[in-house]
Structure 1
Amino acid sequence: NAVLSEVTVVYPCTLTFQVSVQSPVYRNIDIEARLYTQQGFSKAAVRDRVKADLAAMFRVSDPDGTPNPLVDFGFNIKDADGNPVGEIAWSDVFNVIRDTEGVRKIGDRHGDLKLNALPADVKLGIKEFPLLGTVTLFDGDTGGYL
C-alpha cells in the first residue's frame, strides 16, 4: 500500500516500463561421490555432514534470510577474457565434499565424483539456477552406500 501511494499520490508520474515477474528456471544437479572417512567418525554422521555442506553451497539464502555469499554461479564468475561463465564447477563440488569434517579423501578413480552422471562441470543455460538434486554417496572402503 505504501508503494502504491507513492506512485499514485506522492509522485503521480506516468510509468514508462512494465515489470513482469517470472518463475525461476531450476536445473537439478545430481551428485554421486565415492569417499573415504577418517578414523573415529561415524559414516552416517559424515554422510549427513556432506549432504548439509552441499545444501549450504546451493541454497539461495542463509537461515537468517540474508543472501548466501556462497551462491554465485552465473554472471559474476568470468573467464580469462572477462566473459560470464555460467557453470557449476566440478572442482567446487569436489572442494566442498573434501573439506567436510570426517572426509579423508574422495576416490581417485575416473568417475568417483560425478555431476549429473558425468565427471565434468555442468554448464548452466541463461536464466537457469542450480538446484541440488539427488546426492548419492558411496563408502570407498566397502563399496556400499554411505
Structure 2
Amino acid sequence: MKNIFILLLASLSFSSYAQKQLIEKFVVANDTISYTSIDYSKYGLGVSYITMYEQSEDNKIIPDKAAKCLKRIKNLYHTFYYFIEVPKNYTQIMKEKIFAAFIEHVKIKDKLTRANLYLNFDKNYSQYYQKLHPNDEKGLEIQSIVTDITPATICKAL
C-alpha cells in the first residue's frame, strides 16, 4: 500500500512539470501558418525562443525533440518556446515576411511587450524584421540568432 501511495505521489509530481504543446495558427497574406508553442511563462515572460524551419520529413520532429530536451531542464521559468514550420516552396523574402508577421502576432496574442528573443533558424529569416524594427519600440531585443538548426542541433540551441 505504501508503494502505491509513493508511486501515485511521484506520478503527480512529475506530471505537474510537464508542459503542453499547443498547435496554433496565424494568417499571413491569406495563408494560414501553423506553429507549436510551449509555455513556461507562468510567473511572467522574459525570454522567447523562436525556431523557424522549412517543412521537411526530417524537420517535422523538431518540436517534439525540443519538448523532450526541455523536460530535462530544471527551473524553466519566464520562457515561451515557438516552433514555426514554413512551406518549402515559399521564397526567402516570403519566409522573412512570415517571421515578421509572427512577431507581430505574438506581440498581440501573448502580450509580448518586453522580452529577449533567441532565434533559431535553418536559414536566417529575421533580416526583413530587423530592417522594419532596428530598435523595436516594444522592448523586444534579439539576443542571438542561430542558423543551421536541425533535429540533431535543436537541444543545444534552447
TM-score, with length taken from structure 1: 0.29
Task: With the length of structure 2 as denominator, give the TM-score of the two structures.
Answer: 0.27
Structure with the greater alpha carbon radius of gyration: 1
Judging by fraction of residues, say which structure has more helix.
2
